[in-house]
Amino acid sequence: MKKTAKKAAKKPVKRTKKTANRLVKKAAVKIARKSPVFLSKTEVGSAALLLGKMKDSISKTMEEKKKLDLPETEVGDAIDQASQSLEKEILFELSDSEMTDLGDIEAALRKIENGTYGVCEHCKQPIEKKRVKALPSARYCLVCQTGSEKQRTR
């Protein structure tokens, strides 16, 4: 019995960073599942108003960009052509980002209509109130969002 105790004392427990992260994630999920807190009707109503304003703002911005779309003009200088090309590329990238945001906002508004607003699409647990207030179009709780971002970066 003494020999095994000595062997155990000599062998340190190896905890890699990956193992530690996994344990922290499991603990966070357990804590979140023990105390689900759904949003009140007032909170959902104020989120709906905010989402509506955000949707209108993005739609208005996109309409203005369509009106300001750069016309195709022939420019003789290569630098002018490159500049015009870069400006168009930036407009398209902004439009893609706004389209993604608009889709997320519309999805959140549909969730409000269905009565599932504030519930994580992955684990089906309530999304933290602070997260919903900071990002009304949030689709996932913080644990699931972090996990999906880690998978995308791999």
One domain for residues 108 and 69:
yes
One domain for residues 52 and 113:
yes
One domain for residues 138 and 81:
no
CA distance 144 to 29: 9
One domain for residues 86 and 140:
no
Q: Per the domain annotation, does 12 fall within a domain?
A: no
Q: Per the domain annotation, does 93 fall within a domain?
A: yes
Q: Per the domain annotation, does 25 fall within a domain?
A: no
Q: Per the domain annotation, does 5 fall within a domain?
A: no
In this model, does residue 105 exceed pLDDT 60?
yes
Give the whole-number percent of the chain exceeding pLDDT 70: 64
Domain, as residue range, for 128: 119-154
Phi-psi region of 118 (alpha: psi -120 to 50; beta: other; left: phi over 0): left
One domain for residues 77 and 55:
yes
Reported confidence tier of residue 121, pLDDT bands at 50, 70, 90: very high
Cα-Cα end-to-end distance for the chain? 45
Q: Per the domain annotation, does 27 fall within a domain?
A: no
What would the pLDDT profile of 27-65 be if each residue is shown by its tens digit? Answer: 555 544 544 567 888 888 999 999 999 999 988 887 777
Q: Per the domain annotation, does 67 fall within a domain?
A: yes
One domain for residues 134 and 90:
no
The whole-chain average pLDDT of the chain stands at 76
One domain for residues 125 and 98:
no
One domain for residues 51 and 112:
yes
DSSP 115: T
The three-state DSSP-derived secondary structure of 116-150 is CCCECCCCCCECCHHHHHHCCCCCCCHHHHHHHHH
Task: Show the tokens assigned to 149.
Answer: 């971002």
Contact 139, 126 (CB under 8 A): no
How many structural domains are present in the chain?
A: 2
One domain for residues 154 and 93:
no
One domain for residues 79 and 140:
no
One domain for residues 108 and 154:
no
Q: Per the domain annotation, does 82 fall within a domain?
A: yes
CA distances from 75 to 82, 90, 97 (A): 10, 19, 29
One domain for residues 80 and 100:
yes
